[in-house]
Structures are given as structure tokens and as C-alpha cells.
Chain A
């Protein structure tokens, strides 16, 4: 089975610019997650979708971050405007029900300068 696809792999932007990341989950996986992993830290959940509905976005900085999952498949995560502290790896993961763990994509490494 194909894995979780993410793009781009790397992105360098200046602060105050905007950026978008894309994720395509494993086929049939209803649940999709976006995590932020800052260097030296564990992944932190930003938002969780069940099909195309938001289940948990309690840790998403909504003043600058937004995410959507149209049609319950692909998802995009946007940052506008970016800050230096947003430099991190953004990981997308998907699961069927989550009981057996979920699968991560390769991530997008964002550097804000």
C-alpha cells in the first residue's frame, strides 16, 4: 500500500511570508493528523481531521495557521504570516481508526529566515 505523501520536502521562506503544505493520506484512512516537530522535541499535534471534519484543533495557532481537508482525502496546512519560531518539520499522519498506531509521511522541513 502506498504511504502518506507530503510535499514539498523542504521549504525556506522569509518571516511574514506565507507557505502551504500538502498531504495525501493512505487510501481509505479516515483520520488525518498534522504534527509540528521542532528540532530536539517530540511531535506536537496541530490538528486532527475525521473525514473532512475537524476533531481537534486545540493546539493550532489559529491567528496564523489554517488547515482544510476537502472531500475527506487530501489536506493542506497553511501558515500566514510565518514567524521564525515556525521553523520545524511538519508531519502528516493518517490512520484507519488509530487503535494500532498511525503512519507518518516523510514530512516537510520548514526554515523561516
Chain B
């Protein structure tokens, strides 16, 4: 069984300040982990993915995430927020043993103020 918990439903930051979106996961097997972003009235876009290589994963638009097995976490960070980062972010887990469907977190809305 697999599950994912996004610890904050909303995060507010000022433009130019760091972003931290928190995600904890549970998985019976070695997991694949993803972050997706959804801008208003748009589909989901893959930001980055972890599949077993380097634990620090770099994605698009300056985002990165670190896989920490001991903490079962996969937090998303960005050093400096931009207004265009305002969107909803989803942490997603999938078991890597054979084919497995994705399990989505409930999402974190990132608000960026000038």
C-alpha cells in the first residue's frame, strides 16, 4: 500500500524568498516520487521525479527535492520564489516494484505576494 501526506494545504511567501513545500510518503516497496504543478485552469505538469538515482533531484524552473528515506520525506524547495510560481503543487508516490498506479497528495496551494 502507498500513501502521501502533504503537510500544508496553503503556503504563502513573498517574491524572492525561499519556498518549502512538505511531503511525507508511505510505501511498501522502494518508491518513485514525483512533484507535479497545476496552474489555474490548466492540466498537471511534471516538475521533477525521483526513481532511485541521486537523492537530490533537480527539476524545472529552479525547483528541487530531496529524497530522505529515514524521514520518509520528499520536500520541494526553491531558493527564490517568483510570482509565476503561484500554483497548486501535488506530491505523488508510486511503488517501483512492477507496475503501480500513482497516489496523489491532496495538494498545496502556493501563494506568492509582491
> Is chain B found bound to chain A in the same assembly?
no
